[in-house]
């Protein structure tokens, strides 16, 4: 059942609570504050998608609200360069949200959103963060600075990667996915038996931290394209491995909504944040149709 307005106080702090924690500053003391309203909400499935800045929305969330977080933060690679996609040379300018920044700016940003993610994660919850060599080392360092305990550095092997055009280095064929819990003492959940039954490289074998997964299929992009869209198989594996049915999953950089699709299919509740209007529209369309199909 589609709903018009979910209860805000179960996820977001009130105006008074935000003022107390210093996350909300009012210029005249009389300014109005309205809790975020979702662009998409499905009451029965527990799915919400919010259009807005990830850091601002995270700061408004209640502490210890989420069982699992998956994040694919900006890579900050949009600097006017070119790459190869589907056999064609294309620009790497993805938009202002991915505009190139200095290392210190990038790391400061990673510390800020990871700090908030740690606050909103339940005591035994875990977080997965995906990235390339351009950003993932800052993410890993920030995690250690903030007190996370890293469980795995998973290498997602893209079975058919695009070629490198310069021919001056090895072709990039992997992305790293860091999996971490809040601290060393946290007792995190891991569906070991299901992961073993899926198997990678073979069913019945312990799943390795090297995952052979194809890039997104063409039909996964039928609602519109996202430049860093992840394959549904990758998110299905992550959500199934580290959460239980009914758990609440967050994706603060929701993009085209792949995490939400995986959560719905596996019976998890979902909250997504996305700053770009075009990608929000794609995610809404995907989630609406996937829910209707089920």
CA separation for the pair 230, 260 (Å, rounded): 12
| Residues 265-272, mean pLDDT to the nearest whole number | 98
CA distance linking residue 88 with residue 99, whole number of Å? 22
Which residues have a Cβ under 8 Å from the Cβ of 40 and sit 6 or more positions away? 47, 48, 49, 283, 284, 287, 288
Q: Is residue 144 scored above 50 in pLDDT?
A: yes
Q: Is the pLDDT of residue 240 over 90?
A: yes
Residue ranges per domain, the chain?
11-25+36-293
pTM for the complete prediction? 0.89
Q: What integer best gives the mean pLDDT of the chain? A: 88
179, 187 contact by CB (below 8 A): no
Q: What is the CA radius of gyration of the chain?
A: 19
Strand partners, 271: 48, 250
- For residue range 76-90, list pLDDT tens digits in order: 875 555 554 444 445
Options 3.40.50.2300, 3.40.50.300, 3.40.50.150, 2.60.40.1180; CATH of 11-25+36-293: 3.40.50.150
- Who has greater pLDDT, 111 or 4? 111
Q: What local confidence, expressed as pLDDT, does residue 191 receive? A: 98
H or E element at residue 57: helix 54-60
**How sure is the predictor about 218, in pLDDT bands with cuts at 50, 70 and 90?**
confident
Q: Locate tokens 């993410």: which residue?
A: 139
d(CA 113, CA 275): 14
H or E element in which residue 70 lies: strand 66-71
Reply yes or no on whether the pLDDT at 150 is more than 50: yes
């Amino acid at each position: 059942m589609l709903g018009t307005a979910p209860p805000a106080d179960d996820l977001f702090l009130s105006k008074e609570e935000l003022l107390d924690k210093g996350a909300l500053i009012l210029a005249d003391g009389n300014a109005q504050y309205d809790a975020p309203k979702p662009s998409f909400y499905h009451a029965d499935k527990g799915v919400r998608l919010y259009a807005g800045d990830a850091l601002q929305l995270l700061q408004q969330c209640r502490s210890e609200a989420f069982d699992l977080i998956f994040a694919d933060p900006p890579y900050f690679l949009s600097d006017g360069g070119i790459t190869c996609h589907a056999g064609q040379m294309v620009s790497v300018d993805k938009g202002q949200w991915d505009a190139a920044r200095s290392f210190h700016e990038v790391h400061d940003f990673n510390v800020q959103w990871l700090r908030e993610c740690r606050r909103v994660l339940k005591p035994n919850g875990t977080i997965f963060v995906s990235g390339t060599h351009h950003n993932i080392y800052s993410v890993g360092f920030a995690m250690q600075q903030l007190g996370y305990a890293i469980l795995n550095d998973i290498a997602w092997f893209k079975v058919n990667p695009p070629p490198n055009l310069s021919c001056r280095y090895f072709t990039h064929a992997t992305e790293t996915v860091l999996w971490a819990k809040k601290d060393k003492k946290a007792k995190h959940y891991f569906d070991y038996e299901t992961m073993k039954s899926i198997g990678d490289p073979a069913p019945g074998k312990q799943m390795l931290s090297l995952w052979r997964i194809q890039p997104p299929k063409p039909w996964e992009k039928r609602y519109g394209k996202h430049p860093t869209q992840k394959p549904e198989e990758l998110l299905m594996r992550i959500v199934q491995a580290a959460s239980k049915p009914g758990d609440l999953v967050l994706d603060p950089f929701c993009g085209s909504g792949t995490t939400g699709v995986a959560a719905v299919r596996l019976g998890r509740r979902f909250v997504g944040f996305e700053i770009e209007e075009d990608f929000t529209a794609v995610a809404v369309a995907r989630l609406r149709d996937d829910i209707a199909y089920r």
